[in-house]
Chain A
């Protein structure tokens, strides 16, 4: 598979075109905006957090196929997951897109399709912006940064 096709796998193209859990979220308890001024990717994530569980995640905004798919897959993966699962996944995704498969025992599942980002250093922040945004929301911050 070429680097390009490994980056733009069918699942990523699909989620980029038709993002899941896209839109406002009624009853959301946490929100944050993630903005990358270098490229203009701009997302707001909404979460309903209850009793240690992220019951539902949605997002709005616009960005490239990589960032949109990353946000979409995040919402699928984290909706219904305990908060405790977030940080290991965050770390695992970060390692995956910056250097290859993480040596932790976290099961990235479908998120492994972002492995192709590792060959495109300029695109790492596209993949990680939604994760930083979700993290900021969980911490009660309004703005995420990928710095």
Chain B
């Protein structure tokens, strides 16, 4: 291996970290150790600069005026769409619809595709580890249309029980909704296998990619996803922007779900015709700055290299898991063979919220609670977990700070 190649293969987390201004602040007089990345990631300077530049130089409404600013704002906005396409392995970016985030993307599919295509007795198959945002929209459709929700059960390791999908996905299955990576457990699901089973029954496959996008290289065709939903704020971009990938023939056949400006071709009180995709699904003035920031974040992430980031995070997760298990009374929730980015755990005698407060006072930010995945908590018979989740900028010393603070929790509570 040449010297250059060796140099390139070394992932410099400290250099990555240096690009995030917020990681240099203190919390309660302690350096911030941010391990709540599965809830939301911090933003690199390039993304902050992109927002600043947008509002300082480009701000105007998109796809409207003939004036220069409108054209430049439109170009910047559409650049964001192309960036999402690059992230998801999609060439035809008409298939990328901007949304507020994963939640809105799933609601779009439920309300548009679901309401038009689901009927009495049709089955919607979801996994037992779905985030509430991939459960509740389907319940709304199921209630309205008489469809039925079936659940792929999870086992003690937090993976879908082997063989369950073969039994549950059947001729009545119209939609499979599956998370690519579980936010509560870190489990990476075998999306392709499940998608093949669903497609064999003529069903459509929606993948919740909110938690996968920052951790795994994605190719929607290789995964067998007909729809793939992501959130910007989990991949170093602003909040309030996300995207839905949908196969062109599906999106073209779907009715609009929100009406307004931007999504029309012509309007009269007698008849309105709709714009082609993706504009058909983007009623109203969008979060233009968000899309610009998302484009900058994706460029940044792809430049860093998703494989390199994934390898770094895998190593951190392995280190954190080993260190956590070395503490007395700590149990990891979610021990599937394939995991990404998340160490969910409980500590004997210490409630997750008390853990969270102790860690916060040590400058360590983690998530505690049910992680918007109450069925997962019910499955494990626990009210909540503490969750440390990793991003490109985390280091082993972040893990060490977590473990040190947890040692104090155990001293106080596990007596």
B411–chain A nearest beta-carbon distance, Å: 11
B 375-415 to A, binary, CB cutoff 8 A, 1 in contact else 0:
00100000110000000000000000000000000001101
A72–chain B nearest beta-carbon distance, Å: 14
Partner of B369, one of A4, A39, A42, A123: A39
Whether a CB of chain B sits under 8 angstroms from the CB of A1 is: no
Cβ–Cβ < 8 Å partners of A68 in chain B = 351
Partner of B384, one of A7, A13, A39: A39
Q: Are B358 and A4 in contact (CB under 8 A)?
A: yes
Whether a CB of chain B sits under 8 angstroms from the CB of A66 is: yes
Cβ–Cβ < 8 Å partners of A84 in chain B = none
Cβ–Cβ < 8 Å partners of B370 in chain A = 40
Whether a CB of chain A sits under 8 angstroms from the CB of B357 is: yes
Q: Are B377 and A13 in contact (CB under 8 A)?
A: no
Q: Give CA–CA (A3, B415) in the complex, Å.
A: 21
Cβ–Cβ < 8 Å partners of A39 in chain B = 353, 368-369, 384
Cβ–Cβ < 8 Å partners of B377 in chain A = 40
Whether a CB of chain A sits under 8 angstroms from the CB of B92 is: no
Q: Are A123 and B357 in contact (CB under 8 A)?
A: yes
Q: Are A126 and B383 in contact (CB under 8 A)?
A: no
B410–chain A nearest beta-carbon distance, Å: 13
A90–chain B nearest beta-carbon distance, Å: 22
Whether a CB of chain B sits under 8 angstroms from the CB of A17 is: yes
Determine which residue in A39, A40, A123 has the highest number of CB atoms from chain B within 10 A of its CB, and name it: A40
Q: Whose C-beta in chain B lies nearest to the C-beta of A123? A: B357
Q: Are A7 and B351 in contact (CB under 8 A)?
A: no
Interface residue tally on A, bucketed by range: 20 to 34
A 114-131 to B, binary, CB cutoff 8 A, 1 in contact else 0:
000000101100100000
List B358-381 residues whose CB lies under 8 Å from chain A.
Answer: 358, 361, 368-370, 377
Q: Give CA–CA (A97, B384) in the complex, Å.
A: 24
A 1-25 to B, binary, CB cutoff 8 A, 1 in contact else 0:
0111001100001001100000000
Cβ–Cβ < 8 Å partners of A42 in chain B = 383
List A74-118 residues whose CB lies under 8 Å from chain B.
Answer: none
Q: A8-B412, A13-B412, A40-B383 are in contact. Are A64 and B353 (CB under 8 A)?
A: yes
Q: Are A3 and B354 in contact (CB under 8 A)?
A: no
B 152-195 to A, binary, CB cutoff 8 A, 1 in contact else 0:
00000000000000000000000000000000000000000000
Q: Are A4 and B361 in contact (CB under 8 A)?
A: yes
A19–chain B nearest beta-carbon distance, Å: 12
B351–chain A nearest beta-carbon distance, Å: 4
Whether a CB of chain A sits under 8 angstroms from the CB of B349 is: yes
Q: A39-B384, A42-B383 are in contact. Are A126 and B353 (CB under 8 A)?
A: yes
Cβ–Cβ < 8 Å partners of A66 in chain B = 353-354
Q: Give CA–CA (A8, B377) in the complex, Å.
A: 26
Cβ–Cβ < 8 Å partners of B349 in chain A = 17
Cβ–Cβ < 8 Å partners of A40 in chain B = 369-370, 377, 383-384
Q: Give CA–CA (A66, B412) in the complex, Å.
A: 14
Q: Give CA–CA (A39, B357) in the complex, Å.
A: 13
Cβ–Cβ < 8 Å partners of A3 in chain B = 361
Q: Give CA–CA (A123, B368) in the complex, Å.
A: 13
Q: Are A62 and B383 in contact (CB under 8 A)?
A: yes
Q: Give CA–CA (A16, B355) in the complex, Å.
A: 14
Q: Give CA–CA (A39, B374) in the complex, Å.
A: 11
Q: Give CA–CA (A132, B287) in the complex, Å.
A: 41
Cβ–Cβ < 8 Å partners of A13 in chain B = 412-413
Q: Give CA–CA (A8, B357) in the complex, Å.
A: 10
Partner of B354, one of A2, A38, A62, A64: A64
Q: Are B357 and A4 in contact (CB under 8 A)?
A: yes
Q: Give CA–CA (A8, B350) in the complex, Å.
A: 12
Q: Give CA–CA (A4, B358) in the complex, Å.
A: 7
Q: Give CA–CA (A7, B28) in the complex, Å.
A: 15
Q: Whose C-beta in chain B lies nearest to the C-beta of A3? A: B361
Determine which residue in B369, B377, B383 has the highest number of CB atoms from chain A within 10 A of its CB, and name it: B383
> Can you list the 3 inter-chain pairs with the closest CB atoms, starting with the nearest?
A64-B351, A40-B383, A64-B353
Pull 25 A–B residue pairs with CB atoms less than 8 Å apart, ordered by A: A2-B361, A3-B361, A4-B357, A4-B358, A4-B361, A8-B412, A13-B412, A16-B354, A17-B415, A38-B369, A39-B368, A39-B369, A40-B369, A40-B370, A40-B377, A40-B384, A42-B383, A62-B383, A64-B352, A64-B353, A64-B354, A65-B413, A66-B353, A66-B354, A123-B357
Binding site for A on B (CB under 8 A): 349-354, 357-358, 361, 368-370, 377, 383-384, 412-413, 415
Binding site for B on A (CB under 8 A): 2-4, 7-8, 13, 16-17, 38-42, 62-66, 68, 120, 122-123, 126
